[in-house]
A = this chain, B = another copy of it.
Amino acid sequence: MITLRSYLKGDWREGSGDVATLVNPATEEPIGTASTKGLDLAGAVDHARKNGGPALRAMTFAERGERLKKLSKALYEIRDSLIEASILNSGTTRSDAKFDIDGATGTLAYYASLGEKLGARRTLVDGEGEALTRSPRFWGVHVKTPRLGVAVHVNAFNFPAWGLAEKAAVALLAGVPVVTKPATATALLAFRAMERIVQSEVLPDGALQMVCGGAGDLLAHLGPQDVLSFTGSGSTGAHLRGLRNVIERSVRVNVEADSLNAAVLGDDVAPGSDTYQMFVRDVAREVTQKTGQKCTATRRVFVPRALIDRVQADLAERLAEIKIGDPSLDEVRMGPVATAQQLADVRAGIGVLIDSGARAVWGSATDVKPIGVSAGKGYFVGPVLLRADQPREARAVHEHEVFGPVVTLMPHEGAQDAAELVGLGEGGLVASAYSDDRAVVETLVLGMAPFSGRVLIGSAKIAEQAISPGTVLPSCVHGGPGRAGAGEELGGLRGLDFYMQRTALQGDRAFLDKLG
């Protein structure tokens, strides 16, 4: 049994009482405990503001970038032990663990390179300056400076490594200190990463702290220069957004929440074509990778009515190939979901979709025979392919996110109809469109864009080069309107805006030109 500690005010701290137990989701065996009871979280916030912030702001972007590069390397050096922690506590296969961990080191390295490009400056200039009156001397320019508070990051259980790193990379590059809180149930991986980060001595004191266990009163201490970035359920996101101090003190909040991500197959795509194969491959991957526990996983699939039986058969064939079981076994392609609660939620969620008008056409909520696992143990659920032939009637399919290997297949009546069906999800992180017809793609892209943080367009010419739609790249924004939380992360330098204040400066041009 491992005791996970919190790293606060420059030291590892152990809570007392109210202990949460972490388990191995493949065996249900306890592996560790975490508690924050009695820890001085107000002191941690204060420590970040008084020590971490000034130290980071004293550095240039290039210097902060160098630290991120070193962090990326430090974590990469213990990649194997991080993978083991992921398998043990998150129930991921080795491949799924790498997706999380390599995403973490890759995102750190990406923001390190942005820091290098920004160079020896501490302030960003936003756009071009301009004369504000008829005089060429009285000049206006917009600059961005780091906020003077702390960034609190509340992460989801599904990406303990990436969630920690992608949020921290952006905040630290912006010059804002971080208190990060992994979801307790799968915190082992984040804890191991943090041990390494602390050991590496790369960051100044107070720049990065970690709360392992409950959030306690952490959020109550946030004020007008602080930010809160949350990834998780929409209901928790709404709760955080409604906190009294968050509302009354204008704490900046970013929420990345529920999303009924959609994939659309265009009318023009012939079964068996490269584009069709890309579509089937992507959907099958998105449904099963990380056992469907990705906020970007495809939940709804819209295909031409004439092709729905064919697509159903092809997807079922792909899903049938997926071996489920003990994620430490090489042959296993899909592990359990992360917790008993997730398993219960996934099973109940499938019921909700079926009650709403979908039917299971492949797999079921309960019928699964995992390989290499003691009978009845582990939080396993097989891939489930649902189908709803009347997509506008099956409302829950567009509103209820089942966070597991579950997808619903539906017919559409053309590109415009498909875009409207995607819109029934009321905002998502990513939608994908598969077509080689320019008109079809335009209708889909422009129709889905207002509802989507990201749109991937699959086509024959890029069938081999493209990433799968569920992959979040640091260069593209991650977030979505409405149900997805109305937030934005990453997107290269765009991500820094959340951590900085944009200020219009007005004055003598000669002075302002030198300030930049």
Contact = CB atoms under 8 A, between A and B. Distances in A.
Interface stretch (A248-256, A325-333, A376-384): A248-256
A362 interface: no
Contacts of A453: 501-504
Interface string A134-168: 01011010110111100000000000000000000
Per DSSP, are chain A's interface residues mostly helix, strand or loop, or mixed? mixed
Interface in A323-377: none
Contacts of A241: 247
Interface in A31-89: none
A23 B133 CA distance: 37
A296 B240 CA distance: 31
A454 B506 contact: yes
Contact of A466 (B451, B477, B491, B506): B506
Interface in A457-513: 457-459, 461-462, 465-467, 473, 475-477, 481-486, 488, 491-492, 494, 501-508, 510-512
Looking at A133, A224, A442, A446, the one whose CB has the most chain B CB atoms below 10 A away is A224
Contacts of A506: 454-457, 466-467, 476
Contacts of A450: 145-148, 225, 501, 503
A277 interface: no
In the complex, the count of this chain's copies comes to 2
A465 B133 contact: yes
A506 B453 CA distance: 11
A507 B477 CA distance: 15
Contact of A135 (B452, B462, B483): B462
A234 B250 CA distance: 10
Contact of A483 (B247, B250, B423): B250
Nearest to A514: B438
Interface residues of A, number: 79
A102 interface: no
Nearest to A441: B511
Interface string A231-248: 000100010011000011
A467 B137 CA distance: 12
Given A146-B450, A515-B445, A466 B138 contact: yes
A130 interface: yes
Nearest to A432: B506
Nearest to A145: B449
Contact of A140 (B423, B473, B488): B473
The 10 closest A-B pairs by CB, nearest first: A224-B482, A457-B507, A135-B465, A476-B504, A250-B486, A454-B504, A138-B465, A449-B503, A145-B449, A456-B506
22 contacts: A123-B446, A130-B475, A132-B473, A138-B467, A140-B476, A142-B477, A224-B483, A225-B482, A242-B247, A250-B427, A250-B481, A250-B483, A250-B486, A438-B511, A449-B503, A455-B503, A455-B506, A456-B507, A457-B512, A477-B502, A477-B504, A491-B502
